[in-house]
Amino acid sequence: MTALIETRHVSKAYGTFRALEDVSIGVHEHEVLSIVGPNGAGKTTLVNLLTGLTVPSAGEVFFMGRSIAGIGPTELADRGVARTFQLIQIFPKLTVGETIATAVISRQRKRWRMLSRLANDDAIESRVRAVAQAFGLADRLAARSETLSQGEKKLIDVASALALEPQVILLDEPTSGVSTADKHRIMRTLIAAARQAGVKAILLVEHDMDLVAAYSDRVIALAEGRVLANLPPTAFFADPTLIETVVGKRRTR
């Protein structure tokens, strides 16, 4: 099966420190692939390589068969890969509608249109409402982002990424800072909205093993910059030694 986005024998060094060593992974159509590992395992470095923020010291990174090493997130978004961050990337004074509209404008290459003129563009307004509806934010379009709950801020962050109409989206700990009671609701919303938007694959960087178990089709574990495991979730969670290595303790059922 051909991967949508992949690394081939990628290594990344910072001076004498080897953050990644000979890592080959692929994300395939119709799957949620989770990347897990302890702190310092190389997860962030790997995602930075996959999103063009970093150039590998060795190896290659491809999206749809084309090299994307070091091209940067803006060019990569134009090609069809979007990313969210663990720390929410939104402007607090913008409304929900304006925040989503900014991404829509970027996708439609209307970067120089002022936000005050958005009401005159029916296509943009229609797209903004459709994205907001998918995330349950349709009644919050006029609300300033700073007034949203943490869970709603996470939703608008991902909504803005999906407004770019990506084929692959990378979610970096999308429920961090969200109450335990809301984590599954938010994950269900994110995945359903991504599928509704036509996203072909989701790459999830996550430390919450309950979320990984519930929503992954495949799990890749990193440790000390190397691939420790590449397994379906049932096989991954059946290995207590592997779980202990990844999270530092045995997972209780």
The fraction of the chain above a pLDDT of 70, given in percent, is 89
> What does pTM read for this prediction?
0.85
23, 11 Cβ separation under 8 angstroms: yes
For 174-189, letters b (16+ CB in 10 Å) and e give: bbbebeeebbeebbeb
Q: What is the pLDDT of residues 131-159, one digit of tens each?
A: 989 888 899 999 998 888 888 888 888 88
Q: Where do the domains of the chain lie?
A: 5-247
Q: Give the residue from 2, 4, 1 showing the smallest Cα distance to 199.
A: 4
Rounded Cα–Cα distance for residues 26 and 202 (Å): 12
Per-residue pLDDT tens for 178-235?
888 889 999 999 999 999 889 999 999 998 999 999 999 999 999 999 999 999 999 9
Taking domain 5-247, whether its CATH number is 3.40.50.300 is answered by yes
